[in-house]
Structure 1
Amino acid sequence: MKATWTLPDGSIKTAEVAEGLNLMEAAVENDIPDIEGACGGCLSCATCHVFVDAAWAAKLGEIGTFEDAMLDATDVERTDASRLSCQIKMTAELDGILLTVPAA
């Protein structure tokens, strides 16, 4: 399965992502710039903030209470497309997901 990140400089990076891996872990493993994941995915840092392409957003389900609160603490102002990539687990349904890394 694949995920594609559009980086702040406009370049694009696509990587293979194992099923069940969250997209923050995948970004760190694939050296995606500006995705830090400082808290390791425990919803306490918001350093894995991404914008999810509109075509994929409905497949992610609702934002949880803690994720919603952390999105208010991101370095880049949140939008309707904002999610924390630590909360997105790769599934077959998300194969090909498109994400944008916000410019810090």
Structure 2
Amino acid sequence: MISVLRNPTYAKLFSAQIIALLGTGLLTVALGLLAFDIAAGDAGVIMGVAMSIKMIAYVAVAPITTALLARLPRKPVLIGADLIRAAVAAVLTSAPAHRSPR
């Protein structure tokens, strides 16, 4: 099973997938912490809406975007998408928390 990692192309793709999954997991945790920071009691509702938007993007927006970007070179498109995602994560982490008095 480990012998497939000797193929350099497969090893690169596999490591990229692992990094992407780690990034997705960390972003989900950060979103949960941000939801709790913004609306402690209603954090579950905020997370539900955020995850619903995420799933709608996966199911509805991704195929349309794929069709629109099919003729562009893949590597720059993927790098650009990663940079946009990183920028969104940076904005979310740097946004000041607006806590309501309790």
Normalised by the shorter chain, which TM-score bucket? under 0.3
Q: With the length of structure 1 as denominator, give the TM-score of the two structures.
A: 0.21
Higher radius of gyration, 1 or 2: 2
Higher strand share: 1
